[in-house]
Amino acid sequence: MIEVKQLHKTFGKLTVLDGLDLSIKSGGIFAVLGPNGSGKTTLIKCILGMVIPQKGEIIYDGEEIIGKSDYRNKINYMPQIANFPANLSVIELIEMVKNLRPKEARETELISLFGLEPHLDKKLGNLSGGTKQKVNIVLAFMFDSNLIILDEPTTGLDPIALISLKELIQKAKNEGKTILVTTHIMSLVDDIADEIVFLLDGKIYFKGSVPQLKEQTGEAQLEHAIANLLRKQNV
C-alpha cells in the first residue's frame, strides 16, 4: 500500500526525517509513535503531499506520488487540529466538504453515532473542542477510502465518543482498509494496533506488533515498553 524509501526532510538546520524507510501493507491498523519532534506529523504530511521532502520516494498503490495530487482523493485524513471556519455551521461545513469531494458520503449515520444532531445548525466557532473533534471524525470517515490517516484523533473526546471511534476504526479494518494513526494514548494503541512504527529523530527504531515490542523490552505494559525504547536511545 505505502512504500517510503530514504525519505529526507529538513526545516532549516533541523533534520526531521533522516533517510526513513517504511513499508505499510494493505489492510490493518498501524500506530505511528514517538515523542514530540520525532517526525510523525511530518511523515504523514509528506504522504499527503502537504510537505515536500528534499530526497526520497513515496509510493502509494504502486505509484510515485511526490509532486502529485490526484491520489489524495483516495485518502481520508483527520488532522490533529480542526481549524474550521468559525462562521460556518456544522451542516454547512459537511455540505461544503461533500461538494468539494464528489463521492458518496455516509454522514447521517456518523452524525447519529456521535450525537451531533443538536449541533448541526450551530456555528463552528461556538462549539467546544470535543464537539469540534467529533465533527472532525465525521469528515474523516464519511467517504469510502482504502487509506485512512488519523493524526491524534482522540484529543478532547469523552469516553463514549472514544469507544465509538475505536469501533469505527475496527470496522474500517474489518472492511480491509488501512488505518494509519498517530497518538500519545497508549491504551488506544494496545487495544487496536496491529503494528507499531516507533520514530525517533526522524528514524524508525522499532516496527512490529505490540506483543513483539513487549517481548523485546521485557515489559508487560506498553507505556513501560515505549519508555524502555526511549531509555535505550538516551532520550
pLDDT in tens, 62-93: 899 998 988 998 899 999 888 899 999 999 99
Per-residue model confidence (pLDDT) at position 231: 83
CA distance 164 to 162: 5
- CA 152, 129, 77: angle at the middle one, nearest 5? 35
CA distance 119 to 130: 12
CA distance 74 to 91: 23
> Residue 166 pLDDT > 70, yes or no?
yes
Instruction: Over range 121-132, report the average pLDDT.
Output: 95
> Count of alpha carbons within 13 Å of 126, Cβ hemisphere only?
9
In angstroms, the first-to-last Cα distance of the chain is 32
- CA 224, 228, 232: angle at the middle one, nearest 5? 170
Judged by DSSP in three states, 203 sits in strand
Strand 63-64's sheet: what is its strand order? 14-24, 2-11, 55-60, 63-64
CA distance 72 to 207: 25
pLDDT range class, residue 234, cuts 50, 70, 90: low
Per-residue model confidence (pLDDT) at position 95: 95
CA distance 88 to 103: 22
Q: Rounded to the nearest 10 degrees, what angle do helices 222-232 and 210-217 cross at?
A: 60
For residues 49-81, b (16+ Cβ closer than 10 Å) or e, as one string? Answer: bebebeebebebeeeebeeeeebbeebbbbbee
CA distance 162 to 41: 21
Tens digits of per-residue pLDDT, 130-155?
999 999 999 999 999 999 999 999 99
Q: State pTM to two decimals.
A: 0.93
